[in-house]
Amino acid sequence: MKTKFIISILFLLNAILSFAQVDSVKKKKELIISKWQIGINVNTVEPLSDAGFDYNALSQRIFVNGHKNDKSYSLGLNLAYNINKSCVIRLAGKLTNYKIKETRDEREFSPRGNDYGLDSIDVTQSMYSISPGILWNINYNKLSFYGGFQLCYKHYSPINAYTSSTTIADSNNVAWSRQTFEQSEPGGFSIGAGPVVGFYVFVLKGFSIGAEFSTAYSYYKTGGEITTKKTNILPVYLDGGTYISIQTYQGFKFSSMLATINMSISF
């Protein structure tokens, strides 16, 4: 928390300095800025834990020695309007798809001769965000630095998980127990505000690439009833069933520091 607070203060100073230097920059050779700018971007993926989700809580076992395969991604779209050469209003949207798989083979850390387990959990979820903001530029030749502030609203879809747990006899390598768990937990939302800083370079007329960094202090309300459907595959005589548990998060916190790579067209 302390580190994120300090970084936010630095962002704030950057934005203030950018605004304060507008008049002095006018005396330099400036880049001719078009009125509109539209861009696509690739973003770092915000951790699920930022919103209070713990995907291991959806598993029937704690994967102490598990192997994580994360194929999550985050893509976005920006639309900006240049009020003048130094001030921009922007609307940013983002889609984040979480696709996480974790596996565990107990033979990797258990003595041989014992029965061992093979476990896996697959987690999926989507998050949508929209962020209106105001930015101030410092433009020189083909390079532009900017800093500002943005509001941020995020909507989290339900988080779904599929867990498989199999126990195998080491003596004959035959499975004697296997259960699956299909689970769903409600999503939620967050709303907050924070600083953003970045830069972009015009590599061609009307086409630029750049990067930015952002964080936000937000109120989160996520989670609820976790519905679990258990199926016993082995032994077949054991009963399955549906169970309900509770996992919620509600409170204020800083999001993780997020990085973005932008490609934009101005017109």
CATH number of 80's domain: 2.40.160.20
pLDDT at position 22 is 45
In angstroms, rounded to a whole number, what is the distance separating the alpha carbons of residues 12 and 164? 47
Per the structure, the count of domains in the chain is 1
Angle at 229 between CA 226 and CA 230, to 5 degrees: 125
pLDDT at position 170 is 86
pLDDT at position 123 is 96
pLDDT at position 30 is 47
**What residue type is 123 in one-letter code?**
V
pLDDT at position 60 is 65
Beta-strand relationship, 143-156 and 174-185: unpaired
Written as tens digits, the pLDDT of the chain (267 aa) is 545 544 554 454 454 444 444 444 444 444 556 799 999 999 999 999 999 998 878 876 667 778 999 999 999 999 999 998 889 999 999 999 999 999 999 888 888 778 999 999 999 999 999 999 999 999 888 899 999 999 999 999 999 999 999 999 988 889 999 999 999 999 999 999 999 999 999 998 889 999 999 999 999 999 999 999 999 999 877 778 999 999 999 999 999 999 999 999 998
Q: How many CB atoms lie within 10 A of CB 247?
A: 17
pLDDT at position 145 is 95
**Which structural domain range is residue 76 located in?**
2-266
Element (H, E) at 10: helix 2-20
Coil vs helix vs strand at 216: coil
C-beta of residue 51 within 8 angstroms of C-beta of residue 154: yes
